[in-house]
Amino acid sequence: GALVAVLDRDIDAANATVAQLERPDDHIAVLVDVSDSASVDAAINAVLARYGRIDVLCNNAGINRDSMIHKMSIEQWDQVIAVNLTGTFYMTQAAVKHMRERDSGRIINISSAAATKPVTAAPVYSMAKAAINMANDKKFVGVGINNWGIKINPPFTYAEYREELNYDEDFNDGL
């Protein structure tokens, strides 16, 4: 089984997740604010101190500040971009530095159906997730890191999202 480090801005939530895993004593919870590069570096160092390496990074942090674009504050914009996009960059950059040393690793970036079918009340969230899809493309971020034995998951297609999420067009259109 994998040794898992659960990183979260809420350490109690991270600990609760670890407690649900098989053999919870083998895993760790680490406090991180993905929108802060120093916090990311500290979290990555904690993982390395415990396990000595990082084999897989799963970027799953995400927030939304529902607001129509004409009503959105710059603070809301900054928060969504900082967590969803910049946080993915910080985490990927920090992990790749260590994966590169071993010529091995896997990066999984979690996106959203909103990346390909924007949500009216969440335009910045949709834009950030669309950028994550671009980052997943091997011609974009992956072209460099593939040379180091690091693989990045391919972007999902809209059809895959629809099928997986049973996407409801009428719900989105009614927003």
The residues carrying an active-site annotation are: 125
CA 65 to chain centre: 17
Quote the CA–CA distance of 85 and 31 in Å, as a whole number. Answer: 19
Residue type, 75: E
Geometric angle at alpha carbon 112, from 144 and 57, rounded to 5°? 45
DSSP output for 42-95: HHHHHHHHHHS--SEEEE---------TTT--HHHHHHHHIIIIIHHHHHHHHH
3-state SS class at 128? helix
Nearest-CA neighbor of 80 among 94, 93, 61? 61
Quote the CA–CA distance of 27 and 38 in Å, as a whole number. Answer: 23
Q: How many residues does the chain have?
A: 175
